[in-house]
Homo-oligomer: A and B are copies of this chain.
Amino acid sequence: MTGKLYGIGVGPGDPELLTLKALRLLKQSHVVAYPAAKKRKSNALTIVEHHLTDAQVRLPMIYPFTIEKPLPDLYETALSDFYDGMAAEIGGHLDQDRDVAVLCEGDPFFFGSFMYLFDRLSPHYPTEVVPGVNSVVACAAVLGAPLVYRYQTLTVMGGVLGEDELRRRLQAADAAAIMKLGSNFAKVKRVLTELGLADRALYIERATMAEQKVLPFAEVDETKVPYFAMVLLPGKKWASG
């Protein structure tokens, strides 16, 4: 007998955007693991903390670094070691028949890091993934911006991409979302401006969180863009719709 691993999407930030299923499984899990940066409160934990009891083991997963820029190959080993270590620690709980809920901001399989635990643990333990409200649809909802009309295609990418790839992807897109901006904002703005797309770009920080901020794209201070910031390029309205 082993415990069960749950990858639980806790939504974009508003605690009310948790699903009924996530809430039920969270309450019954023995161990709650969550991503956290050094010395900072975990966003994922903040979303659900009021539902947890003291009897539940809390397992912070402190990332060795943030990933706003492509990492030199050297760092890949460190990242891989980190996931190996976390998987072993979670596996230890599962081996003792404790259910473990891994909290995932947004959705577990949508541009998150849960997949690296999933790939290590799901071959060995019963695993269930609970989808959540991802940040792209949350940003669109807050901005009142329908993403795609009719036969349009949506392209979702990270701000980390190189300038050439950004240019190529954005040029081909009907509608796009560029996530995880941080220090990548200046590059993204340069490409959008060059492509004549800046007028259509919408900017939002920390959608649905308490610190949510919406700014006109042209007025964003590129030195102050957080990691949880996004640019949306909604598809052109369908006139006859």
Report A's interface with B, CB cutoff 8 A.
Answer: 7, 9, 11-12, 14-21, 23-24, 70, 76-77, 79-80, 83, 107-111, 114-116, 118-119, 122, 127, 129-134, 137-138, 140-142, 144-149, 151, 153-158, 160-161, 168-169, 172, 208, 237-238, 240-241
Contact = CB atoms under 8 A, between A and B. Distances in A.
Contacts of A7: 141
Contacts of A114: 146
Copies of this chain held together in the complex: 2
Contact of A154 (B83, B140, B156, B161): B156
A130 to B, nearest CB: 7
Nearest to A23: B20
Given A119-B241, A129-B141, A134-B137, 4 more contacts: A79-B241, A109-B137, A114-B146, A118-B146
Nearest to A120: B241
A10 to B, nearest CB: 11
